[in-house]
Amino acid sequence: MVNAMVALDRVELRRGGRVIVGPISLRLGGEGITMAMGPNGAGKTTLLRALHGLERVSSGQIHWDEDARALRERQAFVFQTPILMRRSVLDSIAYPLRLRGVRRGAARERAAECAENVGLRVSLRKDVSTLSGGEKQKMALARALIMDPALLFLDEPSANLDGRSTREIEEILDHFRARGTRIVMSTHDIGQARRLADDVVFMHHGHLVEQAPSAAFFDAPQSQQAKAYLQGDIVI
């Protein structure tokens, strides 16, 4: 049995008395990139938010292989719609370091490096509100990576990016995977999932339908829903 970084035991999340995700039981190992896939409304984002502690579990248990509070301090989350701050691009990226007491000059220097690493080619003195959608997403990724997180969650990180920018983001994710950062992300881009995923969690209507290594999932999906999804059909 693969050692689990995290195990979910019949986890459910409810809103207004309605179950929106679950019950889900799964195990995620401590290495590589896991892709959460499925049609709109499948529950992918909610699952990621629950793992990161942004959503309260209604029932069931989430078991981490180390203290959850300590691990959460070494996690980062990149939202599909980036959270903006009333700061320059440079200071927005540097903000996590400043919170931890890093002096301004050193934090800004590291922020500039992270901006370059994700291909954010804009004036770092600009206000973040002036950035395009894709530039905002790159800024958010740089801000997440500045702390060298052990665990990185990403919700559709390339949704607003062109092909060149998407390739740059994927190269960065590959780099951090090679360094040992554990990545769990959602995507609708089947090509991106094929390029990046080590394993796939496929969801539909809030349920875990299938979990498999990447090659097995794409070559021989076991569920009718996954087969239809990969063929580009409407999954009902």
Residue at 128 is within a domain? yes
Total count of domains within the chain: 2
Tell me: do 117 and 165 sit in the same domain.
no
Structure tokens at 214: 């990447």
Residue at 188 is within a domain? yes
- Cβ-based neighbour number of residue 154 at 10 Å: 26
Residue range(s) defining the domain that contains residue 172: 31-55+67-74+149-236
Tell me: do 142 and 160 sit in the same domain.
no
Tell me: do 47 and 155 sit in the same domain.
yes
Tell me: do 106 and 219 sit in the same domain.
no
Q: Rounded CA gap, 107 and 76, in Å?
A: 17
- Cβ-based neighbour number of residue 22 at 10 Å: 23
Tell me: do 130 and 209 sit in the same domain.
no
Tell me: do 236 and 159 sit in the same domain.
yes
Tell me: do 89 and 191 sit in the same domain.
no
Q: Rounded CA gap, 111 and 166, in Å?
A: 20
Tell me: do 89 and 198 sit in the same domain.
no
Backbone angles phi, psi at 112, to 5 degrees: -65, -40
Domain boundary among 148, 170, 200: 148
Q: If we measure between CA atoms, which residue out of 38, 39, 35, 29 comes closest to residue 153? A: 35
Tell me: do 154 and 37 sit in the same domain.
yes
Q: Rounded CA gap, 177 and 186, in Å?
A: 16
Q: If we measure between CA atoms, which residue out of 223, 224, 146, 159 comes closest to residue 186? A: 159
- Cβ-based neighbour number of residue 229 at 10 Å: 23
Q: Rounded CA gap, 149 and 164, in Å?
A: 25
Tell me: do 154 and 209 sit in the same domain.
yes
Q: Rounded CA gap, 171 and 123, in Å?
A: 22
pLDDT in single tens digits along all 236 residues of the chain: 345 688 999 999 998 889 999 899 999 988 899 999 999 889 999 999 999 989 899 999 998 887 666 777 788 999 887 778 888 999 999 999 998 899 999 999 999 999 988 888 888 998 888 888 888 888 998 999 898 888 999 998 887 778 887 888 888 899 889 988 899 999 989 999 999 999 999 999 999 999 999 999 999 999 999 999 999 888 88
At 79 the pLDDT is: 87
**Predicted model pTM:** 0.89
Residue at 96 is within a domain? yes
Residue at 18 is within a domain? no
Residue at 9 is within a domain? no
- Cβ-based neighbour number of residue 223 at 10 Å: 15
Tell me: do 123 and 93 sit in the same domain.
yes
Tell me: do 160 and 233 sit in the same domain.
yes
CATH number of the structural domain spanning residue 153: 3.40.50.300
Structure tokens at 137: 């997403």
Q: Rounded CA gap, 62 and 51, in Å?
A: 8
Residue at 5 is within a domain? no
End-to-end CA distance of the chain: 33
Domain boundary among 131, 148, 165: 148
Residue at 80 is within a domain? no
